[in-house]
């Protein structure tokens, strides 16, 4: 046998053996990679489930929080309306009291002015009667009666 034939056969035997060995190594590497991908897929699925659960819990918490905030806002608005209503009633009461006070004050002043007007009118009337009587004096006796009547009339009118 020739050397080149032996070298050729050795090359093919080495190539076939290395091919089988290389095929086995590549197959094992691909299987390892595939099993790692399965783990990664499982991890991705678990992550998706965890995120969906977290989103659901967060949504429920948000709904509860939103309901509580709305409840607090409604209570605050109710309290504000009550305070406004109470203050409005107090203001109305104060305005009514002040109006009554000032009306009484004005009424008292008007009554005093009417009283002053009556007394001034009586004084004027007494003076007028006195002057008229003095103008119509006939005698001395009638003048004394008229003087006493005029004094009495002045006192009675006041």
Tens digits of residue pLDDT in 11-42: 888 888 887 888 888 888 888 877 776 767 77
Structure tokens at 18: 């290395």
Say which residues have a Cβ less than 8 Å from residue 118's Cβ, sequence separation at least 6: none
Q: What is the band of 101 on the pLDDT scale with cuts at 50, 70, 90? A: very high
Q: What is the pLDDT of residues 59-95, one digit of tens each?
A: 999 999 999 999 999 999 999 999 999 999 999 999 9
Top-confidence residue, 116 or 145? 116
Distances (CA, A) of 61 to 49, 51, 52: 18, 15, 14
Higher per-residue pLDDT: 31 or 100: 100
Q: Are 122 and 157 in contact (CB under 8 A)?
A: yes
DSSP 8-state class, residue 158: -
**In 44-53, which positions are buried (b, 16+ CB within 10 angstroms) versus exposed (e)?**
eeeeeeeeee
Predicted pLDDT at 22: 82
Task: Give me the domain span that covers residue 36.
Answer: 3-157
Query: Does residue 158 contact residue 123 with C-beta atoms inside 8 Å?
Result: yes
| pLDDT score of 99 | 92
Whether pTM exceeds 0.85: no
Q: Between residues 140 and 129, which one has the greater pLDDT? A: 129
Domain count, the chain: 1
Q: Residue 154 above 80 pLDDT?
A: no
- Quote the CA–CA distance of 156 and 119 in Å, as a whole number: 11
Both structure tokens of 75:
């209570």
Q: What is the DSSP string of 127-146?
A: HHHHHHHHHT--SHHHHHHH
Under DSSP, is residue 151 helix (H, G, I), strand (E, B) or coil? helix
Q: Supply the pLDDT for residue 144.
A: 63
């Amino acid at each position: 046998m020739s050397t080149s034939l032996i070298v050729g056969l050795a090359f093919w035997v080495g190539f076939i053996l290395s091919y089988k060995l290389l095929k086995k190594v590549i197959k094992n590497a691909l299987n390892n990679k595939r099993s790692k991908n399965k783990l990664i897929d499982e991890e991705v699925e678990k992550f998706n489930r965890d995120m969906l659960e977290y989103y659901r819990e967060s949504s429920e918490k948000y709904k509860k929080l939103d309901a509580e905030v709305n409840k607090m806002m409604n209570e605050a608005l109710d309290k504000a309306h009550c305070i406004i209503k109470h203050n409005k009633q107090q203001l109305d009461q104060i305005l009514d009291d002040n109006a009554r006070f000032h009306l009484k004050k004005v009424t008292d002043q008007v009554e005093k002015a009417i009283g002053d007007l009556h007394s001034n009118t009586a004084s004027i009337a007494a003076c007028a009667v006195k002057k008229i009587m003095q103008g119509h004096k006939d005698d001395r006796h009638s003048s004394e009666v008229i003087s006493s009547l005029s004094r009495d009339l002045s006192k009675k009118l006041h």
